[in-house]
Structure 1
Amino acid sequence: MSITQVGYIALWILAILLPIQLIVGAMMVKKSGQSAAHYFVSGKQLPLMLVFFADFATIMGVGNFIGYAGKGYEIGLNQLWMMFGEQGTKIVFALLVAGMIGRYAYSTINEFMEQEMYRDKWFRAIAGFCMTIPEICTVGAQAIGIGALLSITMGIDPTTGIWVASLTAIAYTVMGGMWAIAWTDLIQGVIRVVVGFVFFGVVFWSTGGIGGLKAAVETTKPELWSMSSIGFWGALAIFLGPLCGQFTSQAWWQRCFAAKDAKTAQHAFMYSAIFAVVMCTASIMIGIAAYTLNPNLPRPDMAFPWLLTSYLDPILAALLVVTIVGADMTVSAGRLNGAITLLTMDVIKPLLMPNASDADLVKNARWLTLLGGVGSVAVAFMFPTVLSALLFGYVFIGGGMFFPLVLGLWWKDKDGRTYVTKNAAIASLVFGGGTAAVVQATPSLAKLMGGGIVPGLCVSLGLILVITFVERAAKAKSAPQV
C-alpha cells in the first residue's frame, strides 16, 4: 500500500487538529476535576449547542458513514430498517423521554432507575456492568472503520491506524471527561456536517441524482433498490436491535442529564435526530451508488473510502478523511466515557467505594478510562465489519434492558409506583440480554431467528411479566386481611 495525495493532505490537517483536541482536553482538566458530576455530566451546565453536538457527533460516527455505506453496498435500501431503528427512534425519545429526564441530575440511566423505580443497588450494579458491553462494542466499531479508511487513503496498516486515532480520543477523555468531549464534539461536528453534505452532493451528482442512481441499480443489482429482499425477520431484527439498544443507551441519557434544563435536552435531541436521519440515509444511498460504479470491491466497508478517493477533489477528500477520523475519536470518546461512568457510578461507588470522595472517584475514573480504552480497541479485532460490532452491542443490552426500562417507566400501580418488581427486572435484564447475545453470536441460530433481538425480547418480556405477577400475587395473599 502507498499513501495517496489525499492521504498526504489529510496527514497535514491531522497534524494540526489532533494536538488541538489534546489541548482542549488539557484545558478541561481543572474544570472536570471539580467533582464527579463535572467529570461525567459537565455539572449539568451544557447549553443547547453543546448538547446538540455532544449527541450528534457521538452518534454520527464511523459506523454511520463507512458502516452504513458498506451495508448500502451490500443490502441496499434494506439498511433503512436499521436507520429507522437507530436514528428514527431518537425522534420518539426526544418527544417522550428527553425532556422528562432532562430535569434530573443523575450520572447514569441505572442511577435513575434505582432511585425512581426499583430502589435496589444490585439491579443498578448488574445493569451498569452489562451496559458497558454495548459501549465497548461501539468503541471497537469505530476502530474497525478507521482502520479501513486509513489503509486506503494513507497506506497505513489498519492496526496502526486503529491505535493512533483511538489513543488520541482516550487521552483527551482521560483529561477532560464530558467537558472535553462536549467541546471537541463541537469542533468535529461542525466540520462533519459541512464536509459530509458536500461529499453526498458530489456523489449524487456523479450518478445522475436519485433517478439516475435508481436506473443504474435496476440494471446492475435490482434487489438493492428494495426494502424487502432480506425478508420480514431479517428486517425486523435490524430494526428492533438498534431501536431497543439506543433507547437504553447510556450516551443518550447521559447527555440529557448533562443538559442545563429539560427544554434544552428535548430540543437538542430533536435537532440531532433530524440531522442524523438525513445523513444516514445519504450514507446508504452512496453505498448503493458505489456498487453501481464498482461492484468488485474486496469488502463492503471499502465503499465509502473508495468513493472518497475516486470522486472528490483531493483537498475536499482530505477534509472528509479528517472528518471521519474525527468521527472515530468523538464517538470513541463519548462511548468510552459512558462505559467508565457506568462502571464508576453504578458498580464501584455503590458496592466497593460507598464513602469515596469526588476526588477519589474522578481519579479512579481517569485510570479506568485509560485501561478501558485500550481494552475496547481490542474489540475491533473480534468483529469482521463495523456494523457487526454495533449490532452485537445493541442486541445484547436492548434484549435485556428495554422492557425493565419501558415497563418500569410507564407501568404503575395505583399509588403511582413502578409495578414491576426488582427481581423481575433483574431476571429480565440478565436472561433476556444473555439469550439475545448467545443467539446473535451463534451463526446458525442468528440465521434461523433473524438475529438475537427477537428471542431476547421474548425471554425478557416473559420473565418480567411472570415474576412480577407471581410476586405481586404472593404479596397480596400474605397481606393481612382488613
Structure 2
Amino acid sequence: MNIFLIGMIVYLIILIIIGFVGAGKAKDSDHYLVAGRGLTLPVLTGTIIAGWLGAGTVVGHANISYSNGFGALWWVLGGTAAISIVIAISKKLRRLNLYTVPDLLELRYGPIAKVIGSVTIIIAFTGIVGSQIKAMSYVLEAVTNIDPKIGAIIGALLVIFYTVMGGMYSVAYTDVLQYAMLLIGLLIAAPIAFSSAGGFSGWEINLPSSHFELTGGLGLSGALAIALPFLMLATVDQNLYQRMYSAKSASVARKGAVLGLIGGVTVMLLVFVIAVSSAVMFPDINPDLAVYVIATELLNPFLGMILLLAILSIVMSTADSYLLSPATNISKDLYNRFINKDATDKQILIITRIAVVVLGLIGLAGALWFDTFLRFMLVGYTVYGAGVFFPILAAFLWRGATYKGAVASISGGLLSTLIWEFGVNSSIPTIYIGATTSLILLVLVSLITKHSDSENADAFFAK
C-alpha cells in the first residue's frame, strides 16, 4: 500500500465522520439546506472558495494554462468579475432570506420562472457533478492504476454518502478542510514546479511564443469563450447564493464574498504557475493532467500525496455543492412548492436525500459517457449561464424586465444551448449562441409585454 492510499484512507475516514456529525445537526430542512443560516465568517469563506473552484480550476483551468499559457488568465478574469458582482449584491441576497435561485426567480418574476429555472439548474448542475466525478477518476487512476470507471464509481458513491448524511453542514465543514488541503498543496507545489521548469526564462525558451500573447493564441473570440461561461455561471451560481443565504448575517455574507474572491484568485494563479511549468517539463501529456503529473513525477512521495489529496478534496467539495443544489430545487422548488405545499420537514428531507442519490447516479453516468473533461464542464457551465444569467441580473438592475421576458429568456437560453451544442456542427462557441438568444429574448419580450401581478420588483429595489 503506497503512501497516497494511506493518506487517502485517513482523509476519507475524516469525511465520513464529518458526514455523521452533519447528520446529527441537520434536524430540519432549514439546517439541512442552509445550515440554519448560521455560518460564521471562517466557515463561510472556506465553503465559498471550495464550492467556487473544484475541477474547473485544477483540471479545466490547468488544461487551458498548459495549452495556451497566458490565455488562461481570461478564466481568472471571468471568475474575478463574477465574484465582484456577487460582492456588490451579497447583502441584498442574504436579506432576501431565500433558499435557492428559483426562489429568487419566483419572487421577482412569478412561479412559471421558478419552474423553468429549476429545470435549467437540475440539468446543468447534474452535468457539472458528472464532470467533477470524472476528475476524481483521474486522481485515482494516476496513483493506483485503478480503472477510471471504477474510480469514478468510488468517488461518486463517497460524495453521495456524505451529502446525503449532513446537507449544508457536511458540505460547509468538509469544504473548509478541503480548501485548506488545496492551499497547502498548491503552495508547496507551485515554487517547486516553477523552479524545476527554469523559472520565467525556462518558460520562454521551451514554450511557443503564442503562450505569452494576451489571448494565448486563442484570439479574442476564443479567449472570451473561456471567460464568459465561468463569468456567467459564477455570477448567478446557486451554490454561491446558498452560501450567502447560509451566512450568519448580511455583513458576514459580504465579508465572506470578499475573502472568497481573494482566496479563489490566489488558488487560480497558483494552478496557472504549476500548469505552465508542467508544459515545460512534460510537453506530451494529456493537458487535463497538468497538475496531477507534478504530484506523481516531480514531487517526493509525501509532498505528492499532499498535492493529490488536495486535488481530490477540492474536486469533491465542488461535487457535493453541485449535488446538494439541484436536489434542493427538486425538494423545495418543485415538490414543496407545487406538489405538496403542506409537506413536513421530514418529507422535504427525505425527498432531498432521494434526489441527491438519483442525481449523483445520473452525474456518474455522464462521467462514464463523456470522453473529455473540459467539454463536459463547459457544457454544464453554458447551460446554466445562458439560461439564468440575464434574468437574474435584470432582477437586481432593471425594473422593466417582465415575467414573460424572463420565461422566454431562460427557455430560449436553455434550448438554444442544447440544440447548438449537440445538434449543430459549428466552430462558433455555444456560449455566444445561448447568451445572445437569452439576452435578446429578455429585452424584446419585456419591452412588448406588461408586468403581471405575480412580479415583485420592490423586493429587489427597496433601499
> TM-score, with normalisation over the residues of structure 2?
0.93
Q: Is the 8 A contact 2:130 2:366 kept in 1?
A: yes
- C-alpha distance in structure 2 between counterparts of 1:234 and 1:110, whole Å: 31
Give the one of 92, 108, 116 matched to 1:126: 116
Give the one of 405, 408, 421 matched to 2:402: 421
Q: How does 1:265-344 map to 2 (within 5 A)?
A: 265-297=253-285, 299-344=286-331
Q: Is the 8 A contact 1:69 1:285 kept in 2?
A: no
Question: Residues 31 and 223 (structure 1 numbering): CA distance in 2 closer, same or farther, change over 3 Å?
Answer: same
Q: How does 1:317-396 map to 2 (within 5 A)?
A: 317-396=304-383
Q: How does 1:398-437 map to 2 (within 5 A)?
A: 398-412=385-399, 419-437=400-418
State the partner residue of 1:37.
30
Q: How does 1:65-104 map to 2 (within 5 A)?
A: 65-94=58-87, 96-104=88-96
- CA deviation string 1:217-269 (max 9, x = no partner): 2xxx2212223321221112221121112212110100000001111111111
- C-alpha distance in structure 2 between counterparts of 1:59 and 1:328, whole Å: 10
State the one-letter code of the partner of 2:89: V
State the one-letter code of the partner of 1:294: F
State the one-letter code of the partner of 2:403: K
What SS is found at the alignment partner of 1:64? Answer: helix
Report the Cα offset of residue 279 of structure 1: 1.7
- C-alpha distance in structure 2 between counterparts of 1:86 and 1:379, whole Å: 25
Figure out how many residues of one structure are paired with residues of the other and give that number.
452
- CA deviation string 1:59-110 (max 9, x = no partner): 221331133222222222212212211344212321x111221223211012
Q: Is the 8 A contact 2:25 2:31 kept in 1?
A: yes
Question: Residues 149 and 474 (structure 1 numbering): CA distance in 2 closer, same or farther, change over 3 Å?
Answer: closer
Q: Is the 8 A contact 1:172 1:180 kept in 2?
A: yes
Question: Residues 111 and 161 (structure 1 numbering): CA distance in 2 closer, same or farther, change over 3 Å?
Answer: same
- C-alpha distance in structure 2 between counterparts of 1:86 and 1:167, whole Å: 29
State the partner residue of 1:479.
none
Residues 1:22 and 2:16 aligned together: yes
Report the Cα offset of residue 424 of structure 1: 1.2
Report the Cα offset of residue 327 of structure 1: 1.6
What SS is found at the alignment partner of 2:248? Answer: coil
Q: Is the 8 A contact 2:412 2:437 kept in 1?
A: yes
Give the one of 453, 456, 459 matched to 2:434: 456
Report the Cα offset of residue 211 of structure 1: 4.0
Question: Residues 162 and 474 (structure 1 numbering): CA distance in 2 closer, same or farther, change over 3 Å?
Answer: closer
Q: Give the root-mean-square deviation of aligned CA atoms.
A: 1.9
Of structures 1 and 2, the larger Rg is shown by: 1
Question: Residues 443 and 469 (structure 1 numbering): CA distance in 2 closer, same or farther, change over 3 Å?
Answer: closer
Give the one of 5, 12, 35 matched to 1:11: 5
- CA deviation string 1:137-177 (max 9, x = no partner): 22111122222222121111111111112211110110100
What SS is found at the alignment partner of 2:96? Answer: coil
Q: Is the 8 A contact 1:341 1:365 kept in 2?
A: yes
Report the Cα offset of residue 440 of structure 1: 3.1
Report the Cα offset of residue 133 of structure 1: 2.2
Report the Cα offset of residue 178 of structure 1: 0.3
- C-alpha distance in structure 1 between counterparts of 2:393 and 2:432, whole Å: 16
Where structure 2 has 5 or more consecutive residues not aligned to the other structure, the ranges are 454-463
Where structure 1 has 5 or more consecutive residues not aligned to the other structure, the ranges are 1-6, 413-418, 476-482
- CA deviation string 1:97-138 (max 9, x = no partner): 1122122321101212312x11x2121111011112221122
Residues 1:467 and 2:441 aligned together: no
What SS is found at the alignment partner of 2:105? Answer: helix
Give the one of 163, 170, 173 matched to 1:180: 170
Question: Residues 431 and 141 (structure 1 numbering): CA distance in 2 closer, same or farther, change over 3 Å?
Answer: same
Question: Residues 425 and 55 (structure 1 numbering): CA distance in 2 closer, same or farther, change over 3 Å?
Answer: same
- C-alpha distance in structure 1 between counterparts of 2:373 and 2:57, whole Å: 9
- C-alpha distance in structure 2 between counterparts of 1:394 and 1:163, whole Å: 23
State the one-letter code of the partner of 2:15: Q
State the one-letter code of the partner of 1:408: A
State the partner residue of 1:154.
144
Report the Cα offset of residue 474 of structure 1: 12
Q: Is the 8 A contact 1:67 1:145 kept in 2?
A: no
> TM-score, with normalisation over the residues of structure 1?
0.90
State the partner residue of 2:129.
139
Q: Is the 8 A contact 1:153 1:305 kept in 2?
A: no
State the one-letter code of the partner of 1:335: Y
Report the Cα offset of residue 189 of structure 1: 1.7
- C-alpha distance in structure 2 between counterparts of 1:327 and 1:471, whole Å: 45
Q: Is the 8 A contact 2:125 2:380 kept in 1?
A: yes
Q: Is the 8 A contact 2:33 2:168 kept in 1?
A: yes
Report the Cα offset of residue 358 of structure 1: 1.1
- C-alpha distance in structure 2 between counterparts of 1:83 and 1:13, whole Å: 31
State the one-letter code of the partner of 1:41: V
State the partner residue of 1:264.
252
What SS is found at the alignment partner of 1:103? Answer: helix
Residues 1:222 and 2:194 aligned together: no
State the one-letter code of the partner of 1:149: V
Give the one of 106, 109, 113 matched to 1:114: 106
Give the one of 238, 252, 255 matched to 2:240: 252
What SS is found at the alignment partner of 1:106? Answer: coil
Give the one of 16, 39, 42 matched to 1:46: 39
State the one-letter code of the partner of 2:410: L
